[in-house]
Amino acid sequence: MKEVFLYGEQIGKGNLILVNAEHRLKSEPKKKELEKITSHYGEVFLKRQVSRMMFHIFHELQCFDEIVPISGYRSFEEQRILYENSRKEKGEDFTKKYVARPNHSEHQTGLAVDLAENTENIDFLCPHFPRKGMCQKFREKASLYGFIERYPRDKEETTKIAEEPWHFRYVGYPHSEWMEKGNMTLEEYMEYLKTFKEGDQHLITTYKDREFELFYVPIEEKERKMVAIPDRTFCQASGDNEGGIVLTLWRNLL
């Protein structure tokens, strides 16, 4: 066995952090952590790993001319301006449905991207991303690369955001597949993961030649914990932005 140390400050960091009306963003990514998907799309940045996974989907589908990323990472100030302009131009009701308050927007994490079908007139706030053609092919491929459609139809009561077929969020694999198979939003998935505590039954799944093991470790903001994991096991930790850390272990089966 080997030791992994977890720190309370990790609660607000990682691919699974929950950022919504009730959960405020604790820290934004640093500029050096951001990267363009390709120079093809101008100033649209995402966290480096997220950008590269997005590029892999585009490359596999060869959809560079058919799908356009129109919004990735936004700073606090960019989100503030967008929010205020939407309130003035679109009104309170529209803004409440589609635009998050500053420090409550997934776009400030560098983990979220808005995509549009490449047409002449693209609406920046509500871009067209239909459930057919190349856009649907992207949607069907997304979970294999760690992405989810963040605000699906009929989940408005849970997310508090209207359906947004264009908004995709990186959570990483295998979380994306578990969420898709279980028809779970990120809010629902994080509650689900809390049932797999460190000393209890863990969530285990396999994909090709790898086995994944997931469990949740509650932790206080100023606390440090040691967790023992098997040798020859890779480990990734992500906070939930609430009160704990999700550990994702994986090992090669061959």
Q: Name the token pair of 23.
A: 């959960």
Tell me which H or E stretch contains 213: strand 210-218
Closest CA to 167 of 137, 129, 196, 133: 129
Residue 67 CA to residue 179 CA, distance in Å, equals: 24
Residue 190 CA to residue 186 CA, distance in Å, equals: 6
Q: Specify which residues 103 forms β-bridges with.
A: none
Question: What is the 8-class DSSP label of residue 138?
Answer: H
Residue 168 CA to residue 151 CA, distance in Å, equals: 8
Marked catalytic residue, from 35, 106, 149, 164: 164
Closest CA to 189 of 164, 167, 158, 153: 158
- Count of Cβ atoms closer than 10 Å to residue 63 Cβ: 19
Closest CA to 239 of 231, 250, 247: 247
Residue 200 CA to residue 184 CA, distance in Å, equals: 22
164 noted as active-site residue:
yes
Q: Taking a C-beta distance cutoff of 8 angstroms, is the pair 100, 108 a contact?
A: no
Q: Name the token pair of 53.
A: 């996974």
Residues labelled as active-site residues: 164
